[in-house]
Amino acid sequence: MVLGGIIVPHVSLESMNEEMRILRNETGSHAELKWNKVSNAWLPKYKRFMDYFFRLNNTDRLHFHSLIIDTHQVNHRKFSNGDKELGFYKFYYQLLLNCFGRNYCPVVEEDTFRVYLDYRKTRYPLGQLKTILNNGMAKEFQNHGRPFRKLEPQNSKAHDFMQLNDILIGAIGYQKNGCDLVQGCSPAKVELAAHIRVLAGHRNLGRNTCFGVQRFKVWNFRLRE
Q: Which of 2, 6, 1 minimizes the C-alpha distance to 163?
A: 6
| Residue 85 confidence class, pLDDT cut points 50, 70, 90 | confident
Residue 116: phi, psi to the nearest 5?
-120, 115
Taking only the tens place, the pLDDT of each residue in 134-189 is: 999 999 998 999 999 999 999 999 999 999 999 999 999 999 999 999 999 999 99
Contacts (Cβ under 8 Å, ≥6 apart) of 63: 6, 7, 57, 214, 215, 216, 217
The whole-model pTM stands at 0.92
Is residue 108 predicted with pLDDT exceeding 70? Answer: no
Domain ranges, ordered by start, for the chain = 2-220
For residue 225, what pLDDT is reported?
A: 60
Contacts (Cβ under 8 Å, ≥6 apart) of 142: 107
Taking only the tens place, the pLDDT of each residue in 88-99 is: 888 999 999 999
Residue 32, judged by CB atoms within 10 A of its CB (0-12, 13-18, 19+), counts as: middle
